């Protein structure tokens, strides 16, 4: 059953959430697609104003469904990064709802000029999500991350403020 954006909430991560955050990162379903952080890196992201670290809640309950991190919230070039998104219930529309909320936060609240991310080439699910939400491929960082005994490349994708506003005008955003 699809989750609608209005049923998804982002609340600031607390230090007491970090056991959950690190366990979700280490989950074998998620680990291949991200580069897990040390707990201290998450502590830094919770505390430093350049980051926004959120727990995702969905539906009626307050059980955490995942977490997201924005970086560059004080970037002088107004270039904000979707640093991480990890959700435990998959394929229920939660990812799309979160990406829409995060675009709104980046462009409306943080006044981003550019909202960007990178995604591993093996992560076809996330690529499909970002492309269908209007992110444009900028280029590839060839063989820039380890993948098993070999390497994977990172695809850099972004959306610009004017592209977001055009989507808002077309009713494609929140
Ligand atoms: C990537 C992730 C955030 C997406 O969230 P999600 O809730 O599973 O995604 P949604 O249900 O909103 O699906 C969004 C789109 O992804 C694509 N998608 C979903 N499941 C897919 C699959 N198994 N294979 C390919 N594409 C898939 C579809 O295009 C889908 O849109 P549609 O259902 O309208 O066709 C989530 O799966 C996740 O946390 N994955 C592990 C960590 C990760 O990869 N993080 C991103 C790192 S860049």
**Domains of the chain as residue ranges with CATH:** 5-169 (3.40.630.30)
* pLDDT score of 2: 58
Interval between CA 124 and ligand 1 midpoint (Å) = 8
Intervals of the chain under pLDDT 70: 1-5
For residues 54 and 97, give the distance between their C-alpha atoms in angstroms, rounded to a whole number.
14
Output 167-172 pairs: Cβ under 8 A, ≥24 positions apart.
167/134, 172/134
Structural tokens at position 60: 């009626």
Atom of ligand 1 lying closest to residue 128 CA: 29
For residues 119 and 155, give the distance between their C-alpha atoms in angstroms, rounded to a whole number.
5
Interval between CA 86 and ligand 1 midpoint (Å) = 10
| Neighbouring C-alpha atoms within 13 Å toward the C-beta of 174 | 18
Q: Which of 91, 144, 156 to mutate to test the pocket of ligand 1 (most atoms within 8 A of CB)?
A: 91
Q: 174 by DSSP, 3-state: which?
A: coil
Nearest to 55 by CA among 4, 100, 10, 15: 10
For residues 140 and 167, give the distance between their C-alpha atoms in angstroms, rounded to a whole number.
25
* pLDDT score of 59: 87
Residues in the chain: 174
> Ligand 1 pocket: which residues have CB below 6 Å?
30, 33-34, 85-87, 90-96, 119, 123-126, 128-129, 132
| Neighbouring C-alpha atoms within 13 Å toward the C-beta of 166 | 8
For residues 165 and 170, give the distance between their C-alpha atoms in angstroms, rounded to a whole number.
9
Structural tokens at position 100: 């829409």
Q: Which of 3, 36, 129, 157 to mutate to test the pocket of ligand 1 (most atoms within 8 A of CB)?
A: 129
């Amino acid at each position: 059953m699809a989750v609608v954006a209005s049923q998804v909430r982002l609340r600031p991560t607390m230090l007491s959430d970090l056991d959950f955050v690190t366990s979700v990162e280490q989950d074998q379903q998620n680990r291949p697609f991200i580069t897990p952080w040390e707990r201290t890196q998450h502590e830094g992201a919770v505390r430093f104003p350049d980051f926004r670290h959120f727990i995702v809640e969905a539906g009626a309950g307050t059980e955490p469904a995942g977490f997201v991190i924005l970086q560059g919230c004080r970037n002088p070039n107004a270039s904000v990064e979707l640093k991480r998104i990890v959700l435990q219930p998959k394929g229920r529309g939660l990812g799309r709802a979160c990406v829409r909320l995060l675009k709104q936060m980046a462009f409306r609240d943080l006044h981003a000029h550019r909202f960007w991310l990178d995604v591993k080439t093996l992560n076809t699910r996330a690529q499909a999500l970002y492309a269908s939400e209007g992110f444009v491929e900028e280029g590839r960082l060839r063989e820039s991350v380890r993948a098993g005994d070999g390497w994977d490349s990172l695809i850099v994708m972004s959306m610009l403020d004017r592209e977001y506003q055009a989507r808002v005008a077309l009713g494609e955003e929140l």
